[in-house]
Amino acid sequence: MSDLPLFTSPFAELRRRGRHVLAELRAPARVLSTCHVNGGLRTDLRYLVNHQSCEPVKHQSRFELIHGLGQAEYHRHVCAELALAPETTALLGTAAAMQYLGIVTHRWADLAVTAIVTAGVTGNAGSAGDAAHYDERNGVWERTTPGDAKSAGTHGGTINTLLLLSSPLSESALARAVVTMTEAKTSALLELAVGSKSSWRLATGTGTDQYAIAAPQDGGAPRTWTGKHTKAGELIGRAVREATLEALRWQNGLEPSYTRCLFHALGRFGLSEEAFKAGQERLLPAAQWQLMKHNWNPVVYEPQLAAAGYAFAAVLDRTLAGTIGTAAARESLLNQAALMAAGLAARPEAFADFRRDLLPHLPVELGAAPEQLLPAAVELAQHAVALGWQRKWSA
């Protein structure tokens, strides 16, 4: 199979071969990675490989192949496909397509930093500290929450990052680069307001993220720090953030303008598209509901509705974090709900009327616990949209 060149430098050459992307290191390198085989800190690697190991959803045959072989044997299986020596190869796996790579290089003086990222977050995004479902004991993985472990075996979402630096780094600088790289990845997720699939919080990554960082061993005195105050840290942060945004744009369609969707703003609080449809069908007269269905995108992507929806989300965030007390939150949520209705109706001058009409739908008591606050808040948002839609064309 012929290779497609993607990037070249004196230190490394990147090319795509089918479902695989290979970074060939042209000089002795210090590599730090999360790879199951040949992972950790290594100085004997020649190839870093990222590959699509399966399709994102219900690819059970690949799941069974990978887990049947085990990590070490699967590593050899992929290396055999590529005709690479398994002893000098580190392997990353994902369900993301290799055609959706984000590749970004930034330079300063003698240093060039290249980030090569594949990313998907639609099924596996999470916030650090979310409740987990697995534990490893004595080399055996056990499910810690009820459910079918087999059906939970595949997760739709992984952010894999290859980071190539043109100048040497000390071991401590290499380790610090992991922190900077991770912050940059999270910065991209926050910029796109990607929500956790397991809590109300914004996502900081996915549960299966992987990385490999490589820098040459020779070429002058190594840089000893890669934090945000250094140019090395700046280049790492910019390259990783931009490459992550680019990968998510292609893999998941997460372009900034498309994230103005109401479900993107409030989905992590329970306002999924399915729940929204059910709520609007319940609240709207039949003719109005049919009209909304025929004009779906203009409704859910309406910019003023989205702006107020994000403000509504910010109030919920600050309430759940303890910044705003629940008593003050009730009035703030009511105000933002009225703005949602006014924005959808294109009647900003009627804000006070919408606020008055939504007041009966605001619960008298809103508990601080998410299980009490979020359903009540989502129901208020549903009423705001229904009210705004009905008033848009009324005399």
Give me the tens of pLDDT residue by residue for the chain, a chain 395 residues long. Answer: 579 999 999 999 999 999 999 999 999 999 999 999 999 999 999 999 999 999 888 888 888 998 899 999 999 999 999 999 999 999 999 999 999 999 999 999 999 999 999 999 998 999 999 999 899 999 888 998 876 444 444 457 899 999 999 999 999 999 999 999 999 999 999 999 999 999 999 999 999 999 999 999 999 999 999 999 999 999 999 999 999 999 999 999 999 999 999 999 999 999 999 999 999 999 999 999 999 999 999 999 999 999 999 999 999 999 999 999 888 899 999 999 999 999 999 999 999 999 999 999 987 666 656 777 899 999 999 999 999 999 999 87
What CA–CA distance (Å, rounded) separates 285 from 390? 9
Residue 381 burial (CB count, 10 A):
31
What CA–CA distance (Å, rounded) separates 30 from 12? 13
What CA–CA distance (Å, rounded) separates 375 from 214? 47
Half-sphere exposure of 196 (CA within 13 A, CB side): 16
What DSSP designation does 118 have?
E
Beta bridge partners of 161: 117, 211
Q: Which of 275, 346, 359, 263 shows the shortest CA–CA distance to 312?
A: 263
pLDDT for the residue 151: 41
CATH of 4-254 among 3.30.70, 3.30.310, 3.60.70, 3.80.10: 3.60.70
Q: Which of 67, 65, 35 shows the shortest CA–CA distance to 48?
A: 35
Contact present, 356 and 310 (Cβ < 8 Å): no
3-state secondary structure of 197: coil
Helix 326-345 × helix 303-320 angle, to 10°: 170
What CA–CA distance (Å, rounded) separates 113 from 2? 27
Q: Please list, in sequence order, all residues whose beta carbon lies within 8 angstroms of the beta carbon of residue 274, skipping any fewer than 6 positions away.
A: none
Residue 114, amino acid: T
Contact present, 162 and 115 (Cβ < 8 Å): yes
* H helix runs in the chain, sequence order: 60-82, 171-191, 231-252, 262-266, 273-283, 286-294, 296-300, 303-320, 326-345, 351-358, 370-392
What CA–CA distance (Å, rounded) separates 147 from 137? 19
3-state secondary structure of 281: helix
Q: What is the maximal distance between C-alpha atoms in the chain?
A: 76
Residue 321 burial (CB count, 10 A):
10
Contact present, 38 and 45 (Cβ < 8 Å): yes
118 to 96, 97, 115, 202, 313: CA distances (angstroms): 6, 8, 10, 20, 28
For 12, counting Cβ atoms within 10 Å of its Cβ (0-12 exposed, 13-18 middle, 19+ buried), the class is buried
